[in-house]
């Protein structure tokens, strides 16, 4: 028997705002504009929203600040904070709330002015007593540890990681909305300034501004909207640690569990997936998640991502908007992978459109490879 949440809700509106640079705008200004665009897309108005799901690095009580700014009075709110994966995780909570009649129109939203506010990572994170004396750089050093360990255990190379950045850039070149679209070679990634070995500046995601919003309703209502509904087939969450010292094996993430949970709920397998949107904060992420989600065997991710295999024209379309590496990355990126997946499943993505896309896998990452959240989205064809 299929899971009761499988396909029970659908995304009927998406909106972006301020991606790149949004000079003079505050995080909630950007979030509100993205919300406006998502409502327009769905043919809804602000007063229709009765469920609010959001996270922030700026607002300690993000649902309260966001609802206040928007002038809405949600019946149900959830500000669960699992870093950049929060917005993917919110799809599960929104689906539960909708299924149980706690809300009818759910808004999942985010906004950040990280780039124009100075480029520093905004954080309300607590001081780490046992790490501060050693001056690691957050979050890059944690990912550098994982990359170094993957190289040591499996022979993954800097060339392999560079190929992740090159593939992302090739997708970005097909996306007029992407922030970084200049030609990029493997050699340029490898010769870029090292930040925290083995990761160079071009192994790291962008620092941009940007906001995104997603509107979810029950599947029963989903056909009453202007756009083709995109159904939430399943979401799975998992976390095994908070700080990198507590991660049992730096080459294996909790995506192993989140992916299985999402596929189980969806009643689908990786062979059903047409397009993959992963949280690529650093090049090593893409390699780790493709392995842990089952697209290749553990240790073979380096070879899998190389030589254009995940680039346009490769065997598996990965991060078709250009990813956090080349499209947009305003502090937390999870909302943007959801939006790109929806747009791919609707069709109409222009030069970067994956043909006959019916199933998309969205994978969010939060903290330092800590929170892993996988969602499977599908068109009516797989409902």
Partner 1 sequence: MSEISTSPVGPGPDKVYADYLKKEVFALPKCKKCGEFHFFPRIVCPHCGSFELEWQPLSGKGEVYSTTTIRRKPERGGNYNVCLVTLEEGPRLMSRVEGIEAEAVKIGAQVCAQINNDSDEPFVVFTPAKEA
303 makes contact with partner 1 (CB under 8 A): no
* Site size with partner 1, rule: CB under 8 A: 25
Give the Cβ contact number of residue 122 at 10 Å: 17
196 makes contact with partner 1 (CB under 8 A): yes
CA separation for the pair 169, 115 (Å, rounded)? 20
Burial class (CB in 10 A: 0-12, 13-18, 19+), 3: middle
60 makes contact with partner 1 (CB under 8 A): no
β pairing state of 76-78 and 51-54: parallel
Candidates 129, 271, 313, 348: give the one binding partner 1 (CB under 8 A).
129
Of the candidate spans 147-155, 184-192, 260-268, 340-348, the one that interacts with partner 1 by CB under 8 A turns out to be 147-155
Candidates 3, 36, 99, 149: give the one binding partner 1 (CB under 8 A).
149
250 makes contact with partner 1 (CB under 8 A): yes
Measured from the CB atom, the residue of 69 and 138 that comes closer to partner 1 is 138
157 makes contact with partner 1 (CB under 8 A): no
Measured from the CB atom, the residue of 197 and 220 that comes closer to partner 1 is 197
Instruction: Determine contact, residues 337/361, Cβ cutoff 8 Å.
Output: no
Reference 231, options 4, 7, 6, 3; nearest CA is 7
* Tokens read off for 291: 């392995």
Reference 119, options 19, 209, 27; nearest CA is 209
Of the candidate spans 27-35, 73-81, 193-201, 332-340, the one that interacts with partner 1 by CB under 8 A turns out to be 193-201
Distance set, CA 204 to CA 10, 241, 279 (Å):
32, 22, 12
144 makes contact with partner 1 (CB under 8 A): yes
Reference 137, options 244, 234, 294, 256; nearest CA is 244
Of the candidate spans 129-137, 310-318, 341-349, 359-367, the one that interacts with partner 1 by CB under 8 A turns out to be 129-137
User: Contact residues for partner 1 (CB under 8 A)?
Assistant: 129-131, 133-137, 141, 144-146, 148-149, 152, 193-198, 244-246, 250
């Amino acid at each position: 028997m299929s899971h009761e949440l499988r396909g029970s809700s659908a995304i009927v509106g998406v909106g972006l705002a301020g991606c790149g640079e949004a000079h003079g705008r505050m995080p909630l200004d950007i979030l509100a504009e993205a919300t406006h665009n998502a409502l327009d897309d769905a043919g809804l108005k602000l007063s229709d929203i009765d469920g609010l799901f959001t996270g922030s690095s700026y607002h300690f009580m993000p649902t309260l600040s966001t609802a206040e700014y928007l002038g809405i009075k949600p019946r149900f709110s959830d500000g669960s904070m699992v870093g950049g994966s929060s917005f993917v995780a919110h799809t599960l909570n929104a689906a539960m709330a909708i299924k149980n009649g706690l809300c009818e129109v759910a808004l999942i939203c985010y906004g950040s002015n990280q780039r124009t506010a100075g480029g520093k990572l905004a954080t309300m994170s607590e001081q780490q007593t046992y790490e501060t004396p050693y001056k690691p750089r957050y979050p890059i050093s944690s990912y550098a540890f994982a990359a170094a360990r993957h190289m040591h255990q499996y022979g993954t190379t800097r060339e392999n990681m560079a190929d992740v950045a090159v593939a992302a850039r090739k997708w970005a070149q097909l996306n007029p909305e992407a922030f970084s679209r200049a030609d990029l070679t493997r050699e340029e990634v490898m010769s870029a300034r090292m930040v925290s070995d083995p990761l160079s500046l071009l192994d790291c995601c962008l620092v941009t501004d940007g906001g995104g919003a997603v509107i979810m309703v029950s599947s029963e209502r989903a056909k009453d909207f202007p756009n083709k509904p995109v159904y939430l087939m399943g979401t799975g969450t998992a976390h095994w640690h908070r700080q990198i010292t507590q991660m049992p094996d730096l080459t294996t993430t909790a995506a192993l569990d989140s992916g299985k949970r999402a596929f189980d709920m969806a009643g689908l397998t990786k062979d059903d997936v047409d397009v993959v949107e992963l949280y690529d904060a650093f090049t090593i992420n893409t390699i780790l998640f493709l392995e842990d989600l089952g697209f290749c065997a553990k240790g073979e991710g380096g070879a899998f991502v190389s030589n254009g295999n995940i680039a346009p024209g490769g065997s598996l379309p990965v991060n078709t908007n250009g990813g956090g590496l080349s499209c947009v990355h305003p502090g937390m990126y999870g909302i943007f992978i959801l939006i790109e997946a929806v747009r791919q499943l609707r069709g109409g993505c222009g030069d970067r459109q994956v043909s006959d896309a019916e199933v998309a896998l969205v994978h969010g990452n939060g903290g330092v490879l800590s929170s892993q959240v996988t969602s499977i989205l599908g068109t009516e064809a797989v409902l």
